[in-house]
Structure formats: C-alpha cells, structure tokens
A and B are shown apart, each in its own frame.
Chain A
Amino acid sequence: MLSLLSVLSEILPIILFLCFIKRNKGEGLWVIFVYCLVSFSAESGSFFLQPTDKFYLFASVTIFEYTLFSLFLYFAIKERKFKVIIILGSLIFYTMAIINLIYKKSSTFDSLSASVEAILIIVYSILYLYEQIQDPEVMYVYHAKKFWIVVAFFLYFSSTLFLFVYAAALTNQEHKNYWFINDFFNVLKNVFFCISLTMKKNIPMSKNSLTL
C-alpha cells in the first residue's frame, strides 16, 4: 500500500508544476519536474522488469537523480568554493557509479552508488543551508522555494542513508520489511516538492530594504 502511494506521490509534483508553471519560472524547478517524471516512469516500469534488468534501471536512475539534484544545487549555491566541492564530489560519484555498474554486487539495488549519492547530496544541502544563513541579503530562508526543495533532498537522503548502506546485505524478506522507510520518506520528499511548487514566487527582500 505504502509502496503504491510512494509511486503515485511522484505524480503530484508533476501536476502542480504544470498548474503553476508561471509561478515556478526562473527558479530552476524544471529539474524537479524532470526528476519526478523520470522517477515515476522508472518506478512504474520496474514492476515489469527482470531482477537483473531492475539493477541497471535503478543504477541509471541513481545516476540521473544525482545529476539533476547536484545540478540544481550547483546553480542554487553562489559561493565559488562550494561549487568546486560539488564538481569534485561529482567526479567521485561518477567514478563510483561506473565501477559499480561494471562490477555489480547486487542484482536488485545499487547500494554503493546510492549511499555515495546520499552522502554527497547531504553535504551539498548543508553547504546550501550554510550559505543561506550567511548571506546578508536573504530575509527569511523558508520564504524561498529552493529552501523547501533542499529540505526535501536533505530529509529524504539522511533518512534513507542507512537503508541504502545496508541494502546490498538484506535478504528479499528483509528488503520487503524495511523498504517502507524509503517509501515513507519518498512520499514526504514529494510533499515538500509540492509545497515548493505551490508557494507564491518570493520577491527577494533584503534586510536592508526593511522599513520601520
């Protein structure tokens, strides 16, 4: 039931993005739209695939997911040093992902790539949030659409990190028992995406422009 809900929850951000397309122009949220589209297609398609094919599908989705999220954070972050960290992290990730594809260890889930992806996205999210609180031009951080997207990534990947780390070592039964964690936080992630997509476009208001 939860896994079905998790798959269907991918549709909501797609619909909301299309309904509020004007509101989300110029915020880089098309990345989330593309991600949700691909994620929904992959999740739906995986029901019809063989276990060996599922591995390649999820491995590709992981690479695609990382690419989109890191791209979003790369453009959201203004600090040059942090952008360099993202580039270096991406090099590490793509190397790991290619190695993992070639020397696959699991037949259903690419645990190594997913774990590395989770750690990297958590790090980038922390960097983004740190930059936001340091920026004197930023008013309330939760007024920004990007903040909610980053919170979505952050919450999802930190909650599922241990699950992804242990995924390769889980039996089929254990996999079925514990995968609800991923499903639950996937739903939560999509809820945060929806919050961001439905928010009104924030007019950048700096602390300097406050009138008393």
Chain B
Amino acid sequence: MILLQAINPGSNVSLVLYFGTIGMLALTIGLIVFIIFHQRKVIRYQLRLQRMEHDQQKLLLNASIRLQEEERQRIAADLHDDAGPLLATARLYLNENLVNLDKTAQLQSIYNAKQIIDDTIQLIRNISHSLMPPTLKNFGLESAVNDLFQKISGSGSMNASSRFHDYRERLQAENELIIFRVIQELVNNILKHSNASFIHLTQNTSGDKFFIRLHHDGRGITQNDFNKLNKSNVGLGLKNIQSRLKVLHGKIFFEKDMSQTYYKVTIELMKEEEDRLPEQE
C-alpha cells in the first residue's frame, strides 16, 4: 500500500483508479448477490428436507393409526364371532324351562353351560394375553420372549428358540413393552411371509448398547428393501416397528448373513443408566 502511494507522478493514475474501483465494486456486488442466492438455495433445500420429514412422519402416523384400528377390529371380531355365540349358547342351556326338566337333564344342562362358560373365559383370557402378556409385566422381557417362542415351537409349524446372554437387569417396563412389540411384529412377519423353518433370537450387550438379533432361514428383506417399503404406502408393520424404535432412539438393520444361508435382523438400542431397574431377588 505504501508502495502504491509512493508512485511515479507520471503513471496513469486514472486508469488504475477507475479499474480498481470498478473491479472492487464488481467483486462486492458479486459477493453480496452470491451470498443472497446461496442462502436462498440452502433454505429451499432445507424446506424440501423438512417437507420430506413431515411426509414421512405423516406416513408413520397413518400406519400407526391403521394398525390400531386393525387390532381393534380383530378384537371386536374375536369377541363377536367367538365369545358372543358361546355366551348365547350358554344362555340357551340356562333358560326358565330348566326347572321343568328332570334332575339328570338339569345337571346335564348346567354341566354344558359350565363348559361353554369355561371356554369363553379361556377365549377372553387369550384375547387379553395377546393385548398385554402378563408374563412381560411380571417376569420381564426374557420370560415373555421365551414364552412366545415356546408357543411358536409348540404349534409345530417351525423351530423357534431364544437365548438372552446378558439380561441380568431389566429395562424400564415401557421400554420392555416396546421391544416386545417389535419382536412380536418381526416374528409375525417371518411367520406370514418368509416360509422359514427356524427362528433364533439372541440378546447381548456390548458396552452401553443393547442388541437383539433374529436369524431365520426363510425369505427375508435387506436394508434397501426395508427403506423402500418404509417410503411406500405398504409395509404397515415395518412402519410400526420404525415408529416404536424411534421412541427408544434405536436402530434396526436387515441383512443377509455372510454365509448367505440365512437372514439376520439386528435391533440396536442404547442402554441408559436410568432405564435399569434394581436386580430382582
């Protein structure tokens, strides 16, 4: 700058001055215009992202509501189609004409009515257990999952087993329920769609992370398929899984095993200190 000031009086000052000024002006205006347009571009992009996130949230919410309605309809159908006729039949056996029958016929009617009422009680108990398994509440996630897998194995349709390697301290009740529902949903999907002959569930922890892995030898999906289904209108159950895992800040990975013989689903959760309950004696 000092060099510029100590210039030769003969040099063409005006050219340098004008070109310098015009150059600086052009740079300044260019920079300001660039800043304005760049920011508008960034804002448009962020708005688009927000819109996409909003649409995805809407999709998940709709899926959740639809699933709830389906469950309600199923319960209503079970009660109407099964419990209703049973109780109506029991009523038939216990009408006023009973007093006009002989003792043997009376005893037979009472016995039949009692049988039907027992069946109804069992039916209602099953509906209630499917809504909220008491094993989960009383004994924890490990017992509830073992119970579920034993029932599947017991049905004879496939070989189902589970193993919890490190579940000495139970998680919070709400979190256990969410994880159980996710496992239930995954197992239901495997039963419905995969044609698998075995399912094996393992649980372990690594540092502050909690893992649940589900292996099966049927037709499965990969992470790409999961992402595509999540963005579409189908895949209600998968959307439900995603919503539930979002509550726990968890992740889910779908992949084919390295040996290419079976599919693996991994659920990863953070194991917070406050989630743990004191060890039960």
Contact = CB atoms under 8 A, between A and B. Distances in A.
Contacts of B50: 207, 210, 212
Contact of B35 (A112, A141, A165, A169): A141
A20 interface: no
B17 interface: yes
Interface residues of B, number: 32
B85 interface: no
Contacts of B16: 162, 166
B175 to A, nearest CB: 28
Contacts of A178: 14, 17
A196 to B, nearest CB: 14
A63 B9 CA distance: 29
Interface stretch (A32-40, A48-56, A73-81, A150-158): A150-158
A161 B31 contact: no
Contacts of A165: 1, 4-5, 20
Contacts of A155: 25, 28-29, 32
B40 to A, nearest CB: 7
A169 B24 contact: no
A207 B46 contact: yes
A181 interface: yes
Nearest to A155: B28
A140 interface: yes
B47 interface: yes
B38 A133 contact: yes
A47 interface: no
Interface in B130-164: none
Contacts of A190: none
A162 B39 contact: no
The 4 closest A-B pairs by CB, nearest first: A162-B20, A158-B24, A158-B28, A159-B25
13 contacts: A111-B5, A129-B35, A139-B43, A155-B29, A159-B21, A162-B16, A162-B21, A169-B5, A169-B13, A170-B13, A178-B14, A207-B50, A212-B51
Given A115-B1, A142-B36, A162-B24, 5 more contacts: A112-B2, A139-B43, A154-B32, A169-B5, A212-B54
